[in-house]
Amino acid sequence: MRKEERLAKEITEQLGGTGNIAELASCMTRLRVKPVDASKVSLEGIKDIDGVMGVVEAETLQIILGPGIVTKVADEVSRMTGMNVASVDDDGEIDTSLEGLAARTKAGLNEKNATPFKLFLRKIASIFIPLIPAIVASGLVAGITNVVIRSGADPESTAVQMLSLIGWGLFSYLGVFVGINTAKEFGGSPALGGAAGILLINPGLANITLFGEALVPGRGGLIGVMLAAALIAFLEKRIRKVVPSAIDIIVTPTLALLITGFATFFVLQPVGGFLSDIITKGLLGILDVGGILAGLVLAGTFLPLVVTGLHQGLTPVHMELINTIGDDPLLPILAMGGAGQVGAAFAIYFKTKNARLKKVIKGGLPVGILGIGEPLIFGVTLPLGRPFLTACLGAAVGGAFQAFFKIATIAIGVSGIPLAFLVHTHQIVLYLIGLLIAYAFGFLFTWMFGFKEEMAKNI
């Protein structure tokens, strides 16, 4: 029996059987499940399955399996249940990752994060999570294309033009996808959300003049797109309540689109642009004034944001920086969070005698080096406690380095080594040096005072 088949079978059994799965989804590292009856789910049984790196609960019951394998397991569960794999929301019972310590830690964090502002950030994260594979792939291809051109290739050659089209194509139409997902999150029709996104990125905007000034395609960025898509979803639901069913399919979407269109031109695009300017100028001001200190604080506090799952809510911020100034100086700094984590995991691996802990680290390190930190967070450092803090300290040192040299990316993607393809070509070596610094200090801090063998006795 293949590994994914075994995992799917054992996980389904511990979930209470195929009939107890109401909804099914997967992201880059997690299998997300909404059970019909939570009392039938054996969380301890799931955690004991070989190959499960942790169990957390945010909006759904999330089983951490790691990148690649999670998609295969989701497909197997889908085959067993006859359900499609899709994004879902859930209000289940809180639990967490590897064994009891992580469970208590994560449960406390989830409870603290249940504030209106953080719930709002989670909604934004839900908009972008389904887009991550396409963003990562496109960003990496765009970065490789940039390296190829800087290495001397003819930018007008057919091969380079094709690579450029493959890499940058998504970012030209990202507003449409964001509009679709935003409308879904707010209970509207996805197609109308996509239409709302087109309103802001359509090149024809340049031909419209309001108040003596021509409109600017893309003004307001993804923030404006989300505002427009949320509005069209709101209008669709309200209009549908008063329109007779016989003409609903014609009247409701037409009125919703018309109202949203004019509201976008006169209000939402300027408001989105204003908010975009505040965010980008504010961040750039912090980095310019704070310098090394700003990089240290931002990188050192990023891992707690990853624990809550709210880090995906920063995607529109990264995109606005790229759209506004042409690159993103924030992403390399935040990428050091994962690097400090990798260094801490190496230190624990060489110090501990716990065979199970070593096995978890061996499974999480390769993907951690490639920029996916959740297996190491929920399987290693967070359950142990203190190593999570020393990983943050190592990240802070790497972030200070990235801020000092003003390293920036031309697109967004996963952190770790792959991000080297996305930074400016002349900064690749500096970025990698910063990555090694974060590894080294994460290792050093954890080795010196972050880990003792007795911490691993319950792992």
Q: pLDDT tens, 443-457?
A: 999 999 999 888 877
Span 401-412, average pLDDT: 93
Instruction: Compute the average pLDDT of residues 211-221.
Output: 84
- Which of 25-29, 45-49, 389-393, 445-449 has the weakest average pLDDT? 25-29
**Residue 100 confidence (pLDDT):** 39
Q: What is the pLDDT of residue 310?
A: 64
Q: What pLDDT, on a 0 to 100 scale, did the predictor assign at position 1?
A: 72
pLDDT in tens, 125-156: 788 878 878 888 888 888 888 888 888 889 89
pLDDT exceeds cutoff 80 at 459: no
Q: Is 392 a catalytic residue?
A: no
What average pLDDT does this structure show over 152-173?
90
Of the candidates 15, 25, 27, 344, the residue annotated as catalytic is 27
d(CA 185, CA 71): 23
Q: Identify the band that residue 106 occupies on the pLDDT scale cut at 50, 70 and 90.
A: very low
Average pLDDT of the residues in 391-413: 94
pTM of the model: 0.70
Higher pLDDT, 184 or 305: 184
pLDDT band, residue 92 (cuts 50/70/90): very low
The residues pairing with 62 across neighbouring beta strands, listed in sequence order, are 32, 56
Handedness of CA 257, 260, 263, 265 (dihedral sign): negative
> What is 295-336 written as a DSSP string?
HHHHHHTHHHHHHHTGGGGGHHHHHHHHHHHSSBSHHHHHHH
User: How high is the mean pLDDT of the chain?
Assistant: 85
Q: For residue 299, what pLDDT is reported?
A: 93
Average pLDDT over residues 330-344: 94
Is the pLDDT assigned to residue 105 strictly greater than 70?
no
DSSP-based helix, strand, coil % in the chain, nearest 5: 70, 5, 20
Top pLDDT among 117 and 324 is at 324
Which parts of 301-427 fold into alpha helices (H)? Answer: 302-308, 315-325, 330-351, 355-369, 374-376, 382-384, 386-404
Residue 115 has a pLDDT of 61
pLDDT at 108: 47
CATH number of 3-95: 3.40.50.10320, 3.30.1360.60, 3.40.980.10, 3.40.50.300? 3.30.1360.60
